Amino acid sequence: MNYLILIRHGQSKWNLERRFTGWVDIDLSENGILEAKKAGTLIKQKNLVIDLYYSSLQLRANNTLKIIQNILNDSKEFTRAWQLNERHYGALTGLNKDEMIKKIGKKKVHEFRRSWDIKPNPLSKDSPFHPINISTYKDLPLNIIPNTESLKETYERVTKYFNKEISKYLKNKNVLISAHGNSIRALCKFLFKLDNSQISNLEIPTGNPLIIRFDKNHEIDNCEYLDKKNAKDLLVF
């Protein structure tokens, strides 16, 4: 049997401030560091050897993974891929979620956050929050850097990368992916064959490893969140 572990990064500083983050490269909060350490401890208790590690280009996911590897005493290099980045929230980037609820209403904010193919207005390229103005993305071709994204568009880039670069290894290796709420939602939609209404209700907790076990036929035969306490109100398969 082989395993895929999906983990959303620990709480970031902007998660704490309830701001739309997207492609802005924000680091972990103090609580996020603790969440990553706890995740590493929970994974270590499974006594699994992780063969391959993947992460987005973003600091919060990278640092979560480094903390986990440190606890596992594993110094393997990990692969960083922009395709695993968080969804780009367009003109919402940097704004406070609660303030936006007051301004445009809870229903509209939920629609922007959870709908399948609706996306916010594009973010101005003059904004310091636009990826073209963030050094993390300086080596990316301009034509692949989004101004805004729907979950559908995020799903397309995440699953294309997963199918091309990762899924082949799940036949005989254990893989861990440290990514983001929406990139992991996209993977869950793909792996568990969720419809568009199910994906709108799927919440991904910070710092809680989702471990997926594959049988000898390479089909999913079990999955669970390792931190049961923080998964009790979530859609768990």
Look-up of token digits 């034509």: 143
Concerning whether 180 is annotated as a catalytic residue, the answer is no
Residue 79 main-chain phi, psi, to 5 deg: -90, 130
Q: Which candidate in 17, 35, 77, 86 is catalytic?
A: 86
Angle at 154 between CA 70 and CA 140, to 5 degrees: 70
Cα–Cα dist 228/237, whole Å? 13
| Distance from C-alpha of 237 to C-alpha of 49, rounded to nearest angstrom | 24
Q: Is 88 labeled as catalytic in the residue annotation?
A: no
125-163 core/surface letters (b: 16 or more CB in 10 A; e: else): eeeebbbeebebbeeeeeeebbbbbbbbbbbebbbebbe
What is d(CA 231, CA 196) in angstroms, rounded to the nearest whole number?
Answer: 21
Question: Contact at 8 Å (CB) between 221 and 3?
Answer: no
137 backbone dihedrals φ, ψ, rounded to 5°: -110, 15
CA of residue 89 relative to chain centroid, distance: 14
Residues annotated as part of the active site: 9, 86
